Amino acid sequence: MAQTLAQKLIARAAGKKQVAVGELVTCQIDLAMFHDSSGPRRLKPMLDELGAKIWDPSKVVLVIDHYVPEQDTDAKRIVQIARDASKAWKLPHVIDSEGICHVVLPERGHLHPGMMCVGGDSHSPTGGAFGAYMFGIGATEMLGVVVTGEIWLQVPKTLRMVWTGRLNKGVFAKDMMLHMIGRFGMNGGQYQAVEFAGEAIANLGMQERMTLSNMSAELGAQVGLIAADDVTYAYLRSVGVHAKDLEELNNWHGDPDAEQEDFYFNASKLSPQVAAPHSPANVKPVEEFKNLSIDVAYIGACTGAKLEDLRAAAQVLHGKKIAKNIRLFVAPASARDQRQAEHEGIMQILRDAGALVLANSCGACAGYGATFEEHSTIISSTARNFKGRMGPPSVQVYLASPATVAASAVEGRISDVREML
């Protein structure tokens, strides 16, 4: 029986030759990730009550990224619980205040094609960009995983998003994703496996692919997969993944005749996209929002402040200044990406333009860190713009690519970055 990429990944984890859509299987977990918000403060009381231990500490990664830098008593308490637990549990993989979990996990070489992974965060499908089956789970499910090393799931059908052609200058993966969310809605993925394919996907860099997989959560999908290829191999080798772990890389793609539902898009016809308050599905082309005044531009989050995102913003901001009375915040997604951006002169370009650089953490995207005043209008590179998520309920958040955010900061209003480039 022909198998989709999702079926092949699940079958491997379940110890079966093949699986059928709708089948219930128990999968062995290769890696479990949780952070300071979703991890020890929720898991430790339950583990203590059960008298249970973590099944394999070497397969757990704890990332401290949500409540750092600690700004109040509650944040200090939550972070301290995480740090104390990491010592008590003898976790060998702890990434503390070095960046956002979905970015630092792969850049530390923890992911590779063929793996079955879970994360204590809704944007855990980011791992699918590397040919790994990775999805988000809640604290109760995570308890079961860390005690048993297993999880059950129902084999999903695959919804395949095929992008033909190539993106034009000023159009990015974020625009592709917003367009798909606008078309299908936030439940369009039906908690199934979404796979991204086609010429446009093949020509995306690794971090752009991560944006697609990350925001498959906004489509309502369980996972957002991209078949492994030479781009995957080159990135993973660059972050230290051993060649032996990539020997079967070319096996992780779906069979051409596998049963799946295909949807087609033409990348060459896509324009920059913007999602209006208060839903990532409230999407229209940027032309529909041109000249709408803003107060703040925010370049941050796992979906909008990786190295490739910072490069795109710097290309727009080079030699320019942000508009009067506009604030531009930049929160690089990882310390490693920020160091490289410093080396390339990117961070200096952003500062010269008037950007205020914030910590390598989830920050305002998680409703923590930067604060926005009542009735502010924000254009942001984050993944979500729900009411009250990034400030008081009166704050109006528009979502766009980092390049569109940068262009809007210069103009003081939502702008078409293509005109500036």
Predicted pLDDT at 33? 98
pTM passes above 0.75: yes
Tokens read off for 395: 């704050």
How many angstroms separate the Cα of 198 from the Cα of each of 102, 160, 278?
A: 24, 10, 31
Q: Are 329 and 356 in contact (CB under 8 A)?
A: yes
pLDDT at 193: 97
- Please report which confidence band the pLDDT of residue 370 belongs to, taking 50, 70 and 90 as the band edges: low
According to CATH, the topology of domain 272-420 is Aconitase; domain 3 (3.30.499)
pLDDT at 351: 98
Pairing type for strands 283-285 and 273-275 reads antiparallel
pLDDT at residue number 363: 87
pLDDT in tens, 253-296: 999 999 999 999 999 999 999 999 999 999 999 999 988 999 99
Which of residues 26 and 366 earns the better pLDDT score? 26
- Give the span between the Cα atoms of 170 and 271, in whole angstroms: 8
Domain ranges of the chain: 5-266, 272-420
Q: Measure the CA–CA gap between 378 and 280, rounded to whole angstroms.
A: 14
Lowest mean pLDDT: which of 56-60, 127-131, 152-156, 385-389? 385-389
Is 412 buried (19+), middle (13-18) or exposed (0-12) by CB count in 10 A?
middle
Segment 359-388 shows an average pLDDT of: 89
* Weakest-pLDDT range from 155-164, 184-193, 292-301: 184-193
Percentage of the chain modeled with pLDDT above 70: 99
Total residues found in the chain within this entry: 421
**If you average pLDDT over residues 172-197, what whole number do you get?**
95
Say how many CA atoms lie within 13 Å of 355 toward its Cβ.
33
Let me know if 238 is exposed, middle or buried by CB neighbors in 10 A (0-12, 13-18, 19+): exposed
Four-residue CA torsion sign, 373, 377, 379, 382:
positive
Predicted local distance difference test score (pLDDT) of residue 204: 98
Please say if the pLDDT value at position 195 is more than 80: yes
pLDDT of residue 290: 87
DSSP code per residue over 84-117: HHHHHTT-S-EEESSB-HHHHHHHTT---TT-EE
* Tens-place pLDDT, residues 60-79: 999 999 999 998 999 999 99
Q: Is it the case that residue 376 has pLDDT exceeding 90?
A: yes
Which pLDDT does position 421 carry in this prediction? 87
- CATH number, span 5-266: 3.30.499.10
Tell me what percent of the residues of the chain surpass a pLDDT of 90: 93
Q: What is the pLDDT of residue 367?
A: 82
Does the structure show a pLDDT above 80 at 369? no
Output the pLDDT for position 189: 82
In this chain, the answer to whether the domains covering 5-266 and 272-420 adopt an identical fold is: yes
